[in-house]
Structure 1
Amino acid sequence: MGREAEIVRSTNETSVEVWLDLDGSGRTEVTTGVPFFDHMLDALGRHALLDLRVRAEGDLAVDAHHTVEDVGIVLGQAIDRALATRERIRRFGSAAVPMDEALVLAAVDISGRGQLHYAVDLPIEIIGTFDTTLAKEFFVALATNAGMTLHVRSLAGENAHHIVEAAFKAVARALKEACELDPRAVGVPSTKGALGDASKA
């Protein structure tokens, strides 16, 4: 069995199912009811080379906040589970991704200490029907539940669509690198001898 995981989470606000394979080829199947967010999750899976299936239903009559955040929670939990003991992973990854005038840097440390450091300037608050503040909420939930330190920083950009999409693609590329197996490595890449909570594997 490969590095795969499936997580199902249901609350009074949302129902979310995520399946992923860290060693996939970027095949995605995403349905959240939030079109721009579906587009971003598709980009995340494709550029991280995750095989990714996301199905979410939420209280969109209120707004998309609970749906976006809860998908981040469940996707983070699935990454955490699929990484298992973290043996032989590269652990660190970074990428600077341009999209036309936009340029976004992302860096990942699969440290077991879930946290987000986010400095992304966006000129507008809405892309289609998507509240751009929800991008940060997604990354907070993702980083916290995957047990990774995640830095996302915009270096240039005027178009909010380009900036947010570059952010998702940069995180994807950094995550891909950090999760990759290093053929030269032995054991866990930490002086502590452990990363995250191996009991979740």
Structure 2
Amino acid sequence: MRTGEIHRVTGETDVSVRLGLDGSGRCQASTGVAFLDHMLHQISSHGLIDLEITARGDTHIDDHHTNEDVGIAFGQALSKALGDRRGIYRFGHFVAPLDEALVQVVLDCSGRPHLSWGLTIPTQKIGTYDTELVKEFFVAVVNNSGLTLHVRHLDGVNSHHIVEACFKAFARALRMATEIDPRRSGSVPSSKGVLEQAGGS
């Protein structure tokens, strides 16, 4: 089983993440940020990733630190679960609809963090959640997992639909990229023979 576990404590948050790539979509998420919990359930369910995430943070100020630190810990746990990324497909893509919304995600488990962000979210809030935190979550994930991630907003006007379609597309693209390629015979999917946070091909 490819798993990663992170416990990250700062002066602002206390975050624990346990992640299993070869799971069935079981999720326990309790971050103190209800909308973030809802999105983590999307990653787990549609990515078939088992997730256990708890966080305590300074949400009496706002949700920023908790949102970002959950993204950091998720990214670190994902990197641990992938290890040297041997045998995986490496690339993944998905276009997810949710009613009128349509979002495309393309990713590469390259070891080189990069985010190309093309999501337009019409409102500043979804419930009490600041929608600018969606990008901050993915910045944290990318920087700590070594993903190259491209997100494109193809259609949609409802903020909740757009963001949820983004998380669903990310989940399915991640599932595609991290599954084991039977033709690889356990080799690293790179012409250089290595994929790691500092490099790749």
TM-score normalized by the length of structure 2:
0.96
Report the equivalent of 2:188: 188
Q: Do 2:112 and 2:197's aligned partners in 1 also have CA atoms closer than 8 Å? A: no
Partner of 2:118: 119
Following superposition, the deviation at residue 160 of structure 1 comes to 0.1
Q: Report the Cα offset of residue 142 of structure 1.
A: 0.4
Q: Does residue 15 of the first structure (1) align with residue 14 of the second (2)?
A: yes
- Where in structure 1 are there 5+ consecutive unaligned residues? none
Identity of aligned residues (%): 55
| Deviation of the 1:5 alpha carbon | 1.2
Displacement of 1:197: 4.7
Give 1:196 deviation, angstroms: 1.1
1:1-201 equivalences under 5 Å are 2-186=1-185, 187-197=187-197
Q: CA deviation at 1:52?
A: 0.4
1:117-145 Cα shifts (integer Å, max 9, x gaps): 11111110100110000000000000111
- Tell me the alpha carbon deviations over residues 49-95 of structure 1, each in whole angstroms, 9 at most, x when there is no partner: 00000000110011000000000000000000010111110000000
Per-residue CA deviations over 1:136-192 (Å, capped at 9, x if unaligned) read 000000011110101111100010000000000000000000000001113100011
Q: Secondary structure at the match of 2:196?
A: coil
Deviation at 1:37, TM superposition (A): 0.8
Shift of 1:27: 0.4
Task: Measure the CA separation in 1 of the matches of 2:50 and 2:91.
Answer: 21
CA distance, structure 1, for counterparts of residue 67 and residue 174 of structure 2? 19
Where does the alignment leave 5 or more consecutive residues of structure 2 unmatched? Answer: none
Q: In structure 2, what is the Cα distance between the partners aligned to 1:191 and 1:65?
A: 39
Q: How many residues align?
A: 197
CA RMSD, aligned part only?
1.0
SS in 1 for 2:89: coil
Shift of 1:6: 0.7
Alpha-carbon distance in structure 1 between the residues aligned to 2:113 and 2:195:
11
* TM-score (norm. length: structure 1): 0.96
For residues 98 and 18 of structure 1, what CA distance do their matches in structure 2 show?
28
C-alpha distance in 1, partners of 2:100/2:138?
A: 22
What SS class does the counterpart of residue 191 from structure 2 fall into?
coil
Alignment partner of 1:98: what SS?
Answer: strand
Amino acid at match of 2:189: P
- Alignment partners' CA distance in 1, 2:197 and 2:144: 11
Report the AA paired with residue 130 of structure 2: D
AA matched with 1:127:
I
Matched-pair contact (CA < 8 Å) for 2:101–2:156: yes
